[in-house]
Chains A and B, each alone.
Chain A
Amino acid sequence: MSKQPLKIMLIDDENIVGKRLKPALEKTGDIVETFEEGEKALARFDETPFDIVVTDIRMENIDGIEILEQVLAKSGRTKVIIITGYATVEIAREALSKGAFDFIAKPFKPADLRGIIERASKELRSGFLHTT
């Protein structure tokens, strides 16, 4: 496959989430970086933009909605996927209205997230085609 690998950023303060999802998402040949703190993730984003950001919504200092806003402010084409602790319509609506690509509720299987990322990457690639 000559597909260019996507750069994926994963933020969750639960250490196991990153530990398990990194190999799961890398299977498609993409590059995955994991973070447990929102600040560090945003700092890294400043160094190099990512195509896809997957973030937990509830975290100690900076929460998922804030990350969504800052990431979109930095890079409009990045797809942001929100992980919610428990599915509530309001949170989902808020995330979507603020420009999130989609959301996924805990607990989920790696395959579920992979499905969403696949859709996101398709959109990104079709976007590439249009722009180039």
Chain B
Amino acid sequence: MDMHITDIKNPEINHENDPENMSLHERPSISIRAKVAISFSLFFILSFTVTGWSYWILTKLETKIDFLEIADNYMAEIQQARRFEKNYLLYSTDLEEALEHLKTADAILKQKNEQIEKILEKEHFKTMVTYMSKYHNQLVLLRSAKNDKEKELIVPMLRQFGSQMVSFAGEFVEKEQISAKRMFLLAKRVPLYFMSVLFVLMSFVLMFLARQLLLTLNRFMEYTKRIGEGDFSPILPARKYKDEFTKLAEAFNHMIKELDHKHNVLLESHKLRAIGTLVAGVAHELNNPLNNTLLTASMLTEDFHTLSEEEKMEMVNDVINETERAQRVVKNLLDFAREGETAIAPLEIGKIVEDSTRLVVNQVKFAKVNLELNCETNLPRIHGDEQKLKQVFVNLILNAVDVLTPGGQIRIHVQKDQTPGYVLVTVKDNGPGIPEHIQGRIFDPFFTTKAQSKGTGLGLSVSQGIIKKLGGYIHLTSNPDKGTIFTVSLPTTESASEIMSK
């Protein structure tokens, strides 16, 4: 864990200052570490308090039990004393025993006075001692009484002090017993309370942390999916604060930038390959107007003096037209091949598709397949890069050409999408279709079923990247009997042009 964190802090892979990470960085920081630390401290404090409290209450209980034991002994002694007092009065037994018990009781009080004082508090302890000494005095008086008359004078006082002494002690013992019981009950319940509080807290922390972690992980999983599909836009902040995941997001953004760069390199190299393919066709296409020009010009010089003015004029015009034809062929290819800086502009999708079909016209001708273009009129313009869009359609048409046998059909439709704000281009062939088990892989870079010299497997991957970047999508419907349909959907610039026309 620690290793990992220091790793992340390694300045070599610090992408905080990359421009795409600015928005990620401009947030207050609450790290996962801090969150974990806070939760743990909370747990610790709670456990500490509960343990401390339990210790305290048990100590208190201990003194109470001690006291109750002492009080019990004391009670027994004074009750015993009173019993002997009664016996003395009724049967004139010996009073010494009563005094003896009282003495023991006194000894108990003196010996344990600290413990008793703790519970009784000074005042009550004093009262207790006073009651006992008063009773003791009366007993001593009684013992020294000489006749019944004297005795009778002492007895009411003796009884009063005696019962006061016993009931005072008894009340205290009872009170302490009740309080001890209460304490026991509390001591028994507190662990249960603690457990419940702990449970609630644990669930909360678990839910909070786990939810956050899981949500964030899910978010990152979505990012990887998105990136895998060729969307190379940087990750934007999804929360109001930053933490360790921010570092991850920053690393992701760096990776995305690199991928985008690599993707552009691939795109360029695949375009070069497409140009290579197209050039073979263009050479043929170029030879026709060249041949026509050469033949016409040769005949013009050969027969210059015998030709009529009219014929000469026609021939010169042919030369001009054929030269222009050659120029168009070259221009079309050059437009496509031009070292392209991405230039996003409002475009007529119909024209782009038509230009693309013109680029591949020779490949189509050589393969002896038919290409049919059907374009709805008055389509809204789309946002895009002309060259890259042509690259997409050239790829799709060349793929279809590759799988078709002579006589095959390619049908291209340009139309409004059912989803408003989008236009659709469908490229449909009646070839062998794509087996279901490879349908999921054809957009993967380098996936190809063609011989090494024939296909790189980059066509569809690159095309998908281009379309995704423009906010559109490209998908496939294929059926072994009915061939393959590639559908490209692109967002229009509708709103903008609508405002312009008003």
Q: Which residues of B contact A86 (CB under 8 A)?
A: 283-284, 287
| Chain A: minimal CB distance from B439 (Å) | 34
Q: Which residue of A lies closest to B294 (CB)?
A: A107
| Chain A: minimal CB distance from B303 (Å) | 7
Interface residues of A (CB under 8 A from B): 14, 16-17, 20-21, 23-24, 58, 60, 85-86, 105-111
Q: A16-B292, A16-B322 are in contact. Are A85 and B284 (CB under 8 A)?
A: yes
Q: Which residue of A lies closest to B322 (CB)?
A: A16
Q: Which residue of A lies closest to B303 (CB)?
A: A23
- The total of chain B residues at the interface (CB under 8 A) is 19
Interchain residue pairs with CB less than 8 A apart (27): A14-B288, A14-B291, A16-B296, A16-B318, A17-B291, A17-B292, A20-B295, A20-B298, A20-B299, A23-B299, A24-B295, A24-B302, A58-B365, A86-B284, A86-B287, A105-B287, A106-B290, A107-B293, A107-B294, A107-B295, A108-B291, A108-B294, A108-B295, A109-B294, A109-B298, A110-B298, A110-B302
Q: Which residues of B contact A24 (CB under 8 A)?
A: 295, 298-299, 302
Q: What 1/0 flags go to B273-296 for Cβ under 8 Å of A?
A: 000000000011001101111111
| Chain B: minimal CB distance from A51 (Å) | 22
Interface residues of B (CB under 8 A from A): 283-284, 287-288, 290-296, 298-299, 302-303, 318, 322, 365-366
The 7 A-B residue pairs whose C-beta atoms are closest, nearest first, are: A107-B291, A85-B284, A106-B291, A16-B292, A106-B287, A20-B295, A107-B290
Of the candidates A58, A60, A106, A111, which one forms a contact with B298 in the assembled complex, judged by CB atoms under 8 Å apart?
Answer: A111
| Chain A: minimal CB distance from B348 (Å) | 29
Q: Which residue of B lies closest to A59 (CB)?
A: B365
Complex: A85 Cα to B292 Cα, angstroms: 12
| Chain A: minimal CB distance from B370 (Å) | 10
| Chain B: minimal CB distance from A125 (Å) | 25
Q: Which residues of B contact A108 (CB under 8 A)?
A: 291, 294-295
Complex: A58 Cα to B364 Cα, angstroms: 12
Complex: A85 Cα to B287 Cα, angstroms: 6
Q: Are A85 and B288 in contact (CB under 8 A)?
A: yes
Complex: A14 Cα to B326 Cα, angstroms: 14
| Chain B: minimal CB distance from A31 (Å) | 19
Complex: A94 Cα to B454 Cα, angstroms: 22
Q: Are A107 and B287 in contact (CB under 8 A)?
A: yes
Q: Which residues of A contact B283 (CB under 8 A)?
A: 85-86
